[in-house]
Amino acid sequence: MKLFIAGTDTEIGKTYISTGILQAFNQRGLSTLGCKPIATGCVWQQNQLRNEDAVALQRAASIKLPYHRINPFAFEPPIAPHIAANQNQQLLSVQTLNEKMDYALNYPADVCLIEGVGGWYVPLNERETMADFVIAQQLKVILVIGIRLGCINHSLLTFRAMQHDGVEVIGWVANCIHPDMDYCYENISTLQNWLPIPCLGKVGYKQFPEYEDEIFNQIKANAA
């Protein structure tokens, strides 16, 4: 099972949900692998650039591949990946991603989670986006929606873009990223009405463990 974790935007909890999903599968005896092909805002650790989200995925997975295998493109400035790549005279493309991620994506694991960077159409270069990598790899997608003001519009636009691109979206997760957002569950109810895909779970603020069984069962049912 290879699942791409997409988000409606940056800072909406993709890593939080991804690590929770990995741990849920771990606890049921399945082998897991977590990857983040591209990351910006990295820091120097152990003589290499590392990203805290990629490190969290590496720690949460039962299979511990070397860091460069799960995050081959790591950039220091917290900016758009294609700009960071240009500054470092590196080429970001679907081809280079396929090459660098080939080892991890073909490593034997029951579940492989690949976390995106930013939103669905984050550019890799002047012609390609992260979505093109997902399409090329024929990955199934889980959409993480950070429940905040504006999330309904962002979610509908993102899902319609995914539909247009022909990817299989197995469902979405509502991640309540603000502890005191007004009308949080009214927003979730609206999304349930408008999105024609299963809601895999509604995660309260920093409360993933309480929803672990629900999300696990929903993923198993819809990703088969």
Can you tell me the distance from the alpha carbon of 173 to that of 179, in angstroms, rounded to the nearest whole number? Answer: 17
Contacts of 147 (CB under 8 A, 6+ apart): 174, 175, 176, 177, 178, 181, 184, 187, 188
Cβ atoms within 10 Å of 48's Cβ, excluding its own: 11
Q: Pairing relation of β-strands 48-50 and 43-45?
A: antiparallel
What domains are defined for the chain? 2-35+94-219 (3.40.50.300)
Q: Tell me the pLDDT tens digit for each residue of 41-75.
A: 999 998 899 999 999 999 999 999 999 999 999 99
| Percent of the chain whose predicted confidence (pLDDT) is above 70 | 100
Pair 59, 34: CB distance under 8 Å: no
Residues with catalytic function: 36
For residues 14-29, average pLDDT: 96
Q: Which of 6, 19, 101 is nearest to 59 (CA)?
A: 19
